């Protein structure tokens, strides 16, 4: 009997260890991760209201110390003096209504206001953030927490000028290729929001939107998010709070279509 007991103890310990790893693996597969990237309209400049601060056990994000926390707005933290409502919480809330109750969503912020596609491509340090390096680090962190399901992208205002417009389509192609390479999924869905229709320089902004549409037509794993009915917050640059929530809903709806 004395010889049998240690063997039983070892067996139980090994079984528990294996079971624990299996449970952790299942939990990781049931955590869907989305990365938010781009410039200020993805980082968020809307006014945060009470409805944007209600937490949910199944909606997570990270803080500046890479700690996983329950998500509430504002989600982005890179620009402490400029942060505001983004589309992230609205996106996850819309998605949760349509997915299995076992799914938890982790949304990770990487957007930095004022950043151009050229700066992303060049891994520039912009507002104290090394854009592409930070994105890659967040991707590696995300892989340890769940399965990366897609990218939410809104950017282009900083490219809406005569010098940058001709390069924009090629920059998007290269940049999204890098993103997907980091994730390890060359068919990763990317939801791309149009620039607002309220610009004081409509010719340049419309040119960027046309390039975005052309890119989406050429890449079957990207999804165009219309914003032409969304309003600005009074500055002719940034979506207001309602616009941010609607963009999040539309990005979630586009992602749900991609699943089908």
Reported as a single tens digit per residue, the pLDDT across 64-103 is: 999 999 999 999 999 999 999 999 999 999 999 999 999 9
Q: Within a 10 A sphere around the Cβ of 69, how many other Cβ atoms?
A: 11
In this structure, what token pair is assigned to residue 165?
A: 């417009």
Q: Is the pLDDT of residue 212 over 60?
A: yes
| Single pTM value for the model | 0.90
Q: What is the pLDDT of residue 3?
A: 53
User: Alpha-carbon distance 225 to 125, whole Å?
Assistant: 28
- Where does the pLDDT of residue 151 fall: very low under 50, low under 70, confident under 90, or very high at 90 and above? very high
CB-based contacts of 94, cutoff 8 Å, min separation 6 = 248, 249, 252, 253
Q: Is the pLDDT of residue 10 over 60?
A: no
Instruction: Say if CB 204 and CB 160 are below 8 A apart.
Output: yes
- Beta strand pairing call for 125-126 and 129-130: antiparallel
Question: Among residues 118, 55, 46, which one has the least CA distance to residue 82?
Answer: 46
Q: Cis bond leading into 259, ω under 30°? A: no
Average pLDDT over residues 191-217: 98
- Quick one: what percent of the chain has pLDDT higher than 70? 89
User: Alpha-carbon distance 73 to 254, whole Å?
Assistant: 22
Q: Within a 10 A sphere around the Cβ of 165, how many other Cβ atoms?
A: 17
How far is the CA of 200 from the CAs of 41, 62, 236, 259, in angstroms?
16, 35, 7, 37
Complete domains list, the chain, with CATH = 28-259 (3.40.50.1110)
In this structure, what token pair is assigned to residue 81?
A: 């003096």
Q: What is the pLDDT of residue 59?
A: 98
User: Alpha-carbon distance 128 to 131, whole Å?
Assistant: 9
* Residues facing 69 on adjacent strands: 61
Q: What is the pLDDT of residue 22?
A: 47
Q: Is the pLDDT of residue 46 over 70?
A: yes
- Quick one: what percent of the chain has pLDDT higher than 90? 88
């Amino acid at each position: 009997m004395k010889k049998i007991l240690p063997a039983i103890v070892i067996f139980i310990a090994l079984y528990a260890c294996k079971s624990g790893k299996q449970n952790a693996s299942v939990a990781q597969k049931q955590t869907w991760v989305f990365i938010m990237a781009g410039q200020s309209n993805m980082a968020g400049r809307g006014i945060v209201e009470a409805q944007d601060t209600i937490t949910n056990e199944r909606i997570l994000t990270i803080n500046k110390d890479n700690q996983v926390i329950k998500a509430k707005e504002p989600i982005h933290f890179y620009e402490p003096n400029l942060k505001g409502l983004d589309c992230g919480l609205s996106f996850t809330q819309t998605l949760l209504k349509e997915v299995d109750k076992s799914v938890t969503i982790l949304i990770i912020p990487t957007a930095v206001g004022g950043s151009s596609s050229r700066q992303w491509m060049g891994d520039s340090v912009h507002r104290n953030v090394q854009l592409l390096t930070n994105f890659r680090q967040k991707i590696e962190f995300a892989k340890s927490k769940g399965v990366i399901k897609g990218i939410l992208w809104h950017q282009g205002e900083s490219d809406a000028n005569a010098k940058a417009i001709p390069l924009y389509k090629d920059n998007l192609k290269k940049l999204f290729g890098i993103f997907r390479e980091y994730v390890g999924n060359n068919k990763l869905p990317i939801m791309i929001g149009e620039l607002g229709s309220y610009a004081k320089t409509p010719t340049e902004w419309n040119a960027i939107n046309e390039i975005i549409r052309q890119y989406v037509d050429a890449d079957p794993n990207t999804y165009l998010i219309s914003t032409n009915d969304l309003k600005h917050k009074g500055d002719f640059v940034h979506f207001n709070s309602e616009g941010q929530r609607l963009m999040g809903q539309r990005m979630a709806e586009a992602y749900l279509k991609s699943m089908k």
